[in-house]
């Protein structure tokens, strides 16, 4: 149980840093480059996913190296694409339909996507024999 809690804390720290990077880039793209909010969100999210992959596979998840780095990256990326779609739907709902400020909408969307990310990455990229319980 302690291993799982420690892993969740690491996941949280990496997630917070990734989230801050994502938000900073989203604001820069939206406010300084005058991009559409969904385009800004997509680009900032993609950059933060690449950062998150590098750090997560080094410090959070004990990945199954025998599967190969390309397959692990593909799986991580595939899960991140699903999370991006979920993020986009939530951003559209919160900011586009409910007219919530896009920064608040981003926080709400991220809270939901974070749960999805931890569960799916734990299930699909972590080595079964070294999973923290």
**Domain total in the chain:** 1
pLDDT digits (tens, 9 = 90+) for 16-35: 999 899 999 999 999 999 99
Range of the domain at 95: 2-130
SS (H, E, C) the chain: CHHHHHHHHHHHHHHHHHHHHHHHHHHHHHHHCCCCHHHHHHHHHHHHHHHHHHHHHHHCCCECHHHCHHHHHHHHHHHHHHHHHHHHHHHHHHHHHCCCCHHHHHHHHHHHHHHHHHHHHHHHCECHHHCCC
**pTM attached to this predicted model:** 0.72
pLDDT digits (tens, 9 = 90+) for 67-96: 888 899 899 989 989 998 998 899 999 999
């Amino acid at each position: 149980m302690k291993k799982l809690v420690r892993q969740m804390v690491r996941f949280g720290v990496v997630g917070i840093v990734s989230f801050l990077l994502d938000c900073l880039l989203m604001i820069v793209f939206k406010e300084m480059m005058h991009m559409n909010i969904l385009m800004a969100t997509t680009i900032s999210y993609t950059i933060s996913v690449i950062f998150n992959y590098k750090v997560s596979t080094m410090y959070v998840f004990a990945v199954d190296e025998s599967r190969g780095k390309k397959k692990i990256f593909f799986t991580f990326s595939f899960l991140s694409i699903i999370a991006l779609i979920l993020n986009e739907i939530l951003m559209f709902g919160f900011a586009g339909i409910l007219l919530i400020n896009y920064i608040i909408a981003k926080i709400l969307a991220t809270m939901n996507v974070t749960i999805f990310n931890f569960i799916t990455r734990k299930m699909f990229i972590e080595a079964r024999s070294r999973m923290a319980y």
